[in-house]
Amino acid sequence: MTADPFLADCRARLAFDLLANTWNAVVVWALRDGPCRPAGLRRRIGGISSKVLTETLRRLQADGLVERRAAEPGRSGVEYELTDLGRTLLEPIGAFGVWAFEHGDEVAAAREAAEREEGAR
Amino acid sequence: MTADPFLADCRARLAFDLLANTWNAVVVWALRDGPCRPAGLRRRIGGISSKVLTETLRRLQADGLVERRAAEPGRSGVEYELTDLGRTLLEPIGAFGVWAFEHGDEVAAAREAAEREEGAR
DNA sequence: CAGAATCCTTTACGATACTG
DNA sequence: CAGTATCGTAAAGGATTCTG
């Protein structure tokens, strides 16, 4: 048995790394309906601080997934929007959403059972 | 604009949190072909220490995605295998794999461009 | 070979306060 | 309102060593 060719491909690891933090996927998903301002994003997402939102958006910008620009003419502030590349991520992320609805409860149940067992030890 | 109903669903966040670390998705993927022993997993994955692999497997076990048992009769050691629940994750994870092949280069290019710009600053 | 025990470094995340 | 600056904590990851 040798190294997995798929996992050896650095692009695959890159994709996994994109999701390997708490907020990237969440923020991309929160932008799926179109441009949004930071305050709006924070309301949508819930539980994310201004600082962490900014950091996440910078990361996504650097990866070419999100664009920052001045808000629509006549409105103050800025807007963030998914790039074309960023929008291609919506499909796989959505697949996880579907998975969550179908199997999230099972994971939660397993986790609680494991914790009970842990507590009984 | 109010909180996103999808993101407010704790199951959705749970799904994202499952992937919110470096190794969970990688290890699940490495187990897609069937039972495997830790040493085999380490070879397949590459770059993961024994300690981190064990931690990851424990996490996945607690979430009901992976099962641990003695290796096949006649062989020493232990084996890990995806549970039925764990196997349901292969589809969405695979979707990311496809995405990586199609768009990984674009992300890498964007990242490099951003770093060059960063360096020029 | 499986994996637990240590030790260490880094960073992600969170809370808060502050600036233009 | 957007974003930065600080500070603090917790956790993840890595390297190494040791044991059954």
* pLDDT tens digit sequence for A11-56: 888 889 999 999 999 999 999 999 999 999 999 999 999 999 999 9
Coil, strand, or helix at residue A80? strand
Contact list in B for residue A43 (CB cut-off 8 A) is 1-3
Q: Do A95 and B91 touch (CB under 8 A)?
A: yes
- Give the number of other CB atoms < 10 A from CB of residue A59: 18
Average pLDDT over residues A76-103: 94
Beta-bridge mates of residue B36 = B80
What percent of chain A clears pLDDT 90, i.e. is strictly above it?
Answer: 74
Quick: pLDDT tens for B50-102. 999 999 999 999 999 999 999 887 788 899 999 999 999 999 999 998 999 99
Contact list in B for residue A8 (CB cut-off 8 A) is 46
Q: Distance, in angstroms, between B80 CA and closest chain A CA?
A: 16
What percent of chain B clears pLDDT 90, i.e. is strictly above it?
Answer: 71
Quick: pLDDT tens for A47-81. 999 999 999 999 999 999 999 999 887 788 899 99
- Distance, angstroms, CA A6 to C1' C14? 36
Q: Which of A103, A105, A121 to mutate to test the interface with B (most CBs of B within 10 A)?
A: A103
Confidence (pLDDT) at B14? 87
Confidence (pLDDT) at A120? 65
What are the distances in angstroms from CA A75 to CA A37, A71, A72, B38? 11, 6, 6, 57
Give the confidence band of B20 by pLDDT, cuts at 50, 70, 90: very high
Confidence (pLDDT) at A119? 66
**C1' of nucleotide D14: residue with nearest CA:** B49
Give the confidence band of A9 by pLDDT, cuts at 50, 70, 90: confident
Contact list in B for residue A106 (CB cut-off 8 A) is 64, 85
| Residue in A35, A26, A47, A91 with CA at minimum distance from that of residue B6 | A26
Q: What sign does the dihedral A3-A9-A13-A16 (CA atoms) show?
A: negative
Dist. CA A10–CA A8, nearest whole Å = 6
Q: Distance, in angstroms, between B69 CA and closest chain A CA?
A: 16
Q: Are B60 and B24 in contact (CB under 8 A)?
A: yes
Instruction: State the number of CA atoms in the 13 A half-sphere of A32 facing the CB.
Output: 17
Confidence (pLDDT) at A74? 78
* Residue B119 pLDDT greater than 70, yes or no: no
* Residue A111 pLDDT greater than 70, yes or no: yes
pTM over the 0.75 mark: yes
Mean of pLDDT over chain A:
91
Q: Are B39 and B53 in contact (CB under 8 A)?
A: no
Q: Do B99 and A110 touch (CB under 8 A)?
A: no
Confidence (pLDDT) at B79? 96
* Residue A121 pLDDT greater than 70, yes or no: no
Q: Distance, in angstroms, between B2 CA and closest chain A CA?
A: 6
Taking CA atoms, what residue in B is nearest to A97? B12
